[in-house]
Structure 1
Amino acid sequence: MASWNSGPLEFIYQVLGWTAFTCWSISFYPQVILNFRRKSVVGLNFDFALLNLIKHSSYLIYNASLYFSPAVQKQYFEEYGYGEMIPVAANDVAFSAHAVLLTVITLFQIVIYERGTQKVSKLAIGIVSVIVLSAAVCFFIALPTHSWLWLVSIFNTIQVCMTIIKYVPQAIMNFMRKSTDGFSIGNILLDLSGGIANYGQMVVQSIDQGSWVNFYGNIGKLLLSLVSVSFDIFFICQHYVLYPATKDFKSVASKEPENDIKEHLVPRSDEPAASENV
């Protein structure tokens, strides 16, 4: 495997990678803490939580396989050349493992805390069923020929698709309510920072190696950054431009107890539930 040509660029690469890890990892905690303080998950989109688990699990399988498996690495070098670097860094594996853990905790909170009338939509259950079945079929296709790189690339594709799909329920809910009241923009700002740092990490590696193979050699990581940044910008426009929070809401929210905040998170009776907006 190729080595770094520039010590400073390698240092910048590591800094950007762990910056992305930090921003993305911290972004999971506000929701978990809010659920714990309220002892309620009312207002949290269950479809988002379920699809998020599939997304991060798929990404963990891809990252861990390419980072740790000699067999997958060998097939990667045969495909893209032995002079290339593995496009997965330690921070990618650490983030994926951490994301799966926090998503599982969130789903556990959904089980044990008050959830009102909310439930996972049939559409989300159908999507997950199709993905699991497809992954199983791909595994048995790859097994006879040991096409492990192709198989982990399938999981990479799954995580990209889930990245696109998982944001849709929240975007539609904001549009239907014409409001982002109760929606944490802090998570989005952290997610945006992580996406930019992740993209910058790939650019630095390409500059050092004088090759852009790591972009199409790990198209999932590239699309993860681009899709996340695009949706984050869209949410920021919704929050600050299209549906800015009113002063009345801010003043009331600052005075009311934590348990009453759910009244701002749950759509009125004439508005569609979050799980129906997938």
Structure 2
Amino acid sequence: MGSWNSVQLEVLYNVLGWVAFVAWSISFYPQVILNFRRKSVVGLNFDFVLMNLTKHSSYLIYNASLFFSSTVQRQYREKFGFNEMIPVAANDVAFSMHAVLLTAFTLFQIAIYDRGHQKVSKACIGIVSVAWLSAAVCVFVAIHRHSWFWLVSCFNTIQVVMTVIKYIPQAILNFRRKSTIGFSIGNILLDFFGGVTNYGQMVVQSVDQNSWVNFYGNIGKTMISLVSIFFDILFMVQHYVLYRPKKTEDHSDPNVVSKEPLLETSDHPHSDSV
């Protein structure tokens, strides 16, 4: 069983982990609050939200299984070494549970609030369907082989793939609208801070253990932070540099988008499939 060599590093690890948890968890609320104030989800890409739900659901299965299941933990150590620490902390499980609930609630807001001409694209439906079909196939294979760590690793792979592609529709929508109105920058700033803090937590564990297995043994956690940080920077550039709001726009008014619609009209079919 792996154990900490330094009490100070263990404390720092836990502090960084829960700081990341708080930042990532709070990051869901600015968008939820913005949707509520505007009674509109125009500007928020629905593909982003649906793929985000698939991503967080897969990540919850991975985190909870590796954190609670002794069988999965044993198979992990058989692969990476019996002295290695499990690379999933309590804050990872707590974050995943919270993320699934808040993302599902955002989908509920999409169902009840003004959507304009936006809708979920067929490409997104296809991607999500393939993801869950692949997961089902992996379950049947794992049951036959009793490869439970391999199974949860499949869910980890799904969440990595979803993380890589989920931001793209929102980035494209911002580009086509030449605006980020309707998409909360508060979400992005907190997500960026959580990603950086998460990397700090992983580095602390690696330094204490004098091993980098923490990174490649949990490639999903490594990749989601890297990809998230990249897209967070892109969204910040879009919001603060490329598509800065006009000084004449009143951003205190939650109905600013409905008064000055920025989406393409129905004459331009691309707006419906972003």
- Code of the aligned partner of 1:243: Y
Two-structure CA RMSD over aligned residues (Å): 1.7
> Any idea what the Cα deviations from partners look like across 1:12-67, whole Å, max 9, x if unmatched?
10111011111111110112122223333233211111111100000000000000
Amino acid at match of 2:101: L
- Deviation, 1:238, is 1.7
1:155 corresponds in structure 2 to 155
Structure 1 stretches of 4+ moved >6 Å: none
Counterpart check, 1:122 vs 2:118: no
Q: How does 1:76-225 map to 2 (within 5 A)?
A: 76-225=76-225
Instruction: Give the Cα separation in 1 of the matches to 2:240 and 2:117.
Output: 30
Distance 1:44 1:274 in 2: 12
Unaligned runs of 5+ in 1: none
Amino acid at match of 2:39: K
- What is the deviation of 1:264? 4.9
Work out whether residues 21 and 194 of structure 2, in 8 Å CA contact, stay in contact via their aligned partners in 1: yes
Q: 1:230 maps to what in 2?
A: 230
What's the offset of the Cα at 1:113?
A: 2.6
Query: What is aligned with 1:35?
Result: 35
Normalising to structure 1: TM-score of the pair? 0.93
Aligned equivalents of 1:210, 1:55: Cα separation in 2:
31
Gaps of 5+ in 2: none
Name the structure 2 match of 1:276.
Answer: 273
TM-score (norm 2): 0.94
Comparing 111-120 with 219-228, greater Cα deviation is found at 111-120
Q: Which amino acid aligns with 1:86?
A: I
2: CA distance, partners of 1:35 / 1:188: 15
State the number of aligned residues: 273
> 1:165/1:259 Cα in 2 relative to 1: closer, same or farther (>3 Å)?
same
Q: Determine whether 1:58 maps to 2:61.
A: no
Structure 2 residue 12 is the aligned partner of structure 1 residue 15: no
How much identity, in percent, do the aligned residues show? 70
Change beyond 3 A, Cα 1:177–1:115 = closer
Is contact 1:21–1:95 with CA below 8 Å preserved after alignment?
A: yes
Structure 2 counterpart SS, 1:2: coil
Name which of structure 1's ranges 107-116 and 141-150 shifts more when overlaid on structure 2.
107-116
